[in-house]
Every structure is written in C-alpha cells, then in structure tokens.
Structure 1
Amino acid sequence: MGLISFFKSVLGGGERKGRQPFDDAVINSLFLNVSGAKPEKIGHVLSKYSERIHGITIACSVLSGAGSKNQMIDVIASEVEKYPLRALSVMMKNFEEKTRYIDENYRKKLLKKIHEQIFDTYHTLFVIREKRDYLTYASGPGQKSPEYWKMVLEACRTKASHDDPYYLYLKYLLAGFRMFVLKEPAHPLGTPFPGGPEVEKDYDRYFCPLRDKADDVAFSLCPFCPAEQSSEYMLTYSAKERKKKSKNASIQNYFTNFKG
C-alpha cells in the first residue's frame, strides 16, 4: 500500500468529524520526505553552497566508515556543535508553520514530540559525549549506517542544487544519532500519527505505523529506522484499547477454565 492510500484508509478518505481534513502533501512532508527534495530534479550544486557540501561530504564519508558508536558520537557532536542553539528553535518554528492548518488537538500532541525529537536529542547527544562509558558504545553502529550517510549526502547535494541544505543536514545528524547510537526510532516513542496510531515499544522492540509505507518516498528515514512496522491490530486499536481487551480476555479465560 502506498503512502497516500495508507493515510486515506486510516483517515477514512481524509475527513473526520470535528477536525479539518489532512492534506496528503503535508503529511508526506511531516513524516517521510524529510528533505523535501526530488531525486529527478537533482542538478549541480550551486556555487554558494559548494563549501557547505564539501564539509558534509567529508563528514558523511567518515560517518560511513565509523567502526564504533564512540566514533559516531564524536563526529556527529562535532558537526552539530557547529550550529548555534537558535538553529534548533528555527527548526521547531518551521515545523510549527508547516502544521498550522491541521487539527489543533493533534497538532499539540505532535509538536510536543517534535520538540523532544529536536531538543531532547540534542541534549542527549552532548551529555553522552561528555559522560559516556566508552565500553557501552564500543560496538559498531550497524549494517545500515554506511548506506544512511551516503543517502544523507545525496539528499543534501540534491537540496543544494536549488536551496541551502543547512537545516536539512542538522535533521539528518540528529536522526542518525537516534537510530545508530541510541538504537531508537527517528521519531520518539509516542509520536502520534493521523488516525490515532503512535510509535510504540514492546519490551525491546519498537513499532511504527509508517515503517513499511515509505517505499515511494525519496531520502526517507524509514528504511534505516530500527522500528518495525506496526501490526494491523496496533493500527486498529490504541495501546489503551489493546490493554483493556487483553485484560477482559484474561478474565474471561479465568472464568471459562476455572475448575474450582
């Protein structure tokens, strides 16, 4: 099922009582098409961004060959600290602007998680860099890491053919830290998606409603995310509803099989 078809099935055609219809393009941009770029429109890097792309190329090359999470932490932190703190606020404001026309209740929950995705991830990165136990992060970042950083470079080069990849690169750096160092989904636990489903964790496994829905989206984070695709049961019932059903089933089983 494609992205648009998936959301239409979840949203019942895009409209629900009491809320404004979600625009497919906005949803696409919010969750999957991080870069906003289209590979078929790639051109030469504009000269005014060539120095920036040169730096990104070097960093992504080093990150692609990182042999441990420790090395990745050092390189990502070194790249991220080149950005002033106000860059995080600009990213947040940009997201707030993109979501200004969607349902306010949903937007409020979403923005809380996006704030966590940006600011909490930034804070965690530098806390870990300064206070880490090196043995904890001695293992490799995973097989998908090299391809991820190659994708990041391609996305930034594509962006630089028509616009500044400044904030895009920062998004990818923070997402890469979450996925390959923390081994967590790019979107934090509890991130809400239209229709009700959220990013969830069950023991040591993460689940996301969109994990397998991004095959048709360029430069998406999904192929590299450690989360698994949420089951149809998860998409149909909220965690609270599933817990209630499980409890009722246990009670029913007890009375059905109780022998006295």
Structure 2
Amino acid sequence: MESEQLLSALKKEARQITDQDICLARAAIFDSVKDLPEKYRRAYSSDYFSHLYQAFQELRICRYPDKSEPIDDEEYRSLLVRICHQTDDGNSKHKAFHRFASVVIPYLVFIAKRTIHPVGMIFPGGLMIVSHEGEYYCPVKNKQSDVDVAVCDLCRCRDSEELDP
C-alpha cells in the first residue's frame, strides 16, 4: 500500500468517528489510568488524549503528500491487531477507543511520522519522552519488546539510551 492510499482510508474512517465515539475513547483512557499515582495520571490520560485528539483533527484536514511512499502492509496490519487486543472486553468505551486509535495511531506512525505518545510524557522513574536535534527519545522504547500489545516498535522514538549525554 502507498501512503496516499492509507491517508485516504484513514480520512474516510475518521469521518465515521462521532463526537460520542471521541468522548467514549477519552473516558476509556481515563478509566485505564485511575489506579496510577496522581503524578502519572494526567500524563497518561489528558496529556495523552490531547496528543491523540490533536493528531485526529490534523488528519481530518491533512492534504495528500506530494510524494507517496510505500507502507509495509504487514506492519500496518500488526499495528491494528495490537491496538484491538489492548483491551478486548466488549466495553463500549474500549470499542470507541479502538476505533479512534485505529485511525490516529497509524496516521502518527505512517503519515505524520511522529511519536505515539506526546513529547514530555513522564514515565515511572521521572524519565520522559524528549526531542533532541530532530530526533525523539523514549525511556521505555526497548523495554516494551516483550509486551505483545505494545506498539512501541513502530513508534518513531529511539531509545533514550541512544541519546548522548
């Protein structure tokens, strides 16, 4: 598949996402972090959702690229499967999140080529996603390789250990 085809499909799917879907997706994110310590709750809920929602708004008005690039079909399918398996309990909030994330995350990964989580997002231990000289670095990038539903391997971030001090 070409990036132009993927963008067209994502834009079409984005038009099918309702305001109610977005509210339910946001609620799913907030529910998923309710047991985290307060200092992480905001980063994993409102900051993360704001990042995704901004990308969603961008996608809806995104123009087609001057040059279309190939998209690895297997990577795209794998990403969608992992998003859908993050929680699979039939809950309406989770279904809405899957619909929303299945549009936004492929846009971030394959079209916008930006991070899945926002720059500045803090992780346990106080480490965060940073931008340095046009590259993005994540403190958990290489630590998620054994998590089946993680999508970190497709994120544009590099591991923070690669950042020269």
Give the TM-score range, shorter chain. 0.7 to 0.9
Q: Which residue of 1 aligns with 2:126?
A: 196
Match of 1:183 in 2: 113
CA separation of 1:232 and 1:206: change in aligned 2, threshold 3 A: closer
Match among 48, 69, 74 for residue 147 of structure 1: 74
Q: What code does the residue aligned with 1:85 have?
A: D
Tell me if 1:227 matches 2:157: yes
Query: Which residue number in structure 1 is paired with residue 138 of structure 2?
Result: 208
After superposition, the Cα gap between the structure-2 partners of 1:111 and 1:78, relative to the gap in structure 1 and judged at 3 Å, is: same
Q: Which residue of 2 aligns with 1:247?
A: none
Q: Aligned pairs, how many?
A: 162
Matches within 5 A, 1:154-165: 154-155=81-82, 163=90
Runs of 5+ in structure 1 lacking a partner? 1-64, 235-241, 243-260
After superposition, the Cα gap between the structure-2 partners of 1:141 and 1:203, relative to the gap in structure 1 and judged at 3 Å, is farther
Q: Name the SS for the 1:87 alignment partner.
A: helix
Matches within 5 A, 1:124-139: 124-128=58-62, 132=63, 134-135=65-66, 138-139=67-68
- Correspondence for 2:17: 83
RMSD between superposed Cα atoms in Å: 2.8
Say if 1:73 and 1:211 are closer, same or farther in 2 by CA, change over 3 A: same
Map of 1:92 onto structure 2: 26
Q: Distance in 2 between matches of 1:151 and 1:217?
A: 13
**Does the CA contact (< 8 Å) of 2:15 and 2:60 recur in 1?**
no
Distance 1:196 1:152, change over 3 A: same
TM-score scaled to structure 2, two decimals? 0.81
3-state SS of the aligned residue for 2:137?
Answer: strand
> Secondary structure in 2 aligned to 1:101?
coil
Aligned to 2:95: 166
From the superposition, tell whether residues 157 and 105 of structure 1 become closer, same or farther in structure 2 (CA, over 3 Å).
Answer: closer
What SS does the corresponding residue of 2:25 show, helix, strand or coil?
helix
User: Which residue in 2 is equivalent to 1:70?
Assistant: 4
Structure showing greater radius of gyration is 1
Whole-angstrom CA distance in 2 between matches of 1:178 and 1:124: 10
Which runs of no fewer than 5 residues in structure 2 stay unpaired?
none
Q: Distance in 2 between matches of 1:152 and 1:106?
A: 25
Q: TM-score when scaled to structure 1?
A: 0.54
Aligned to 2:40: 106
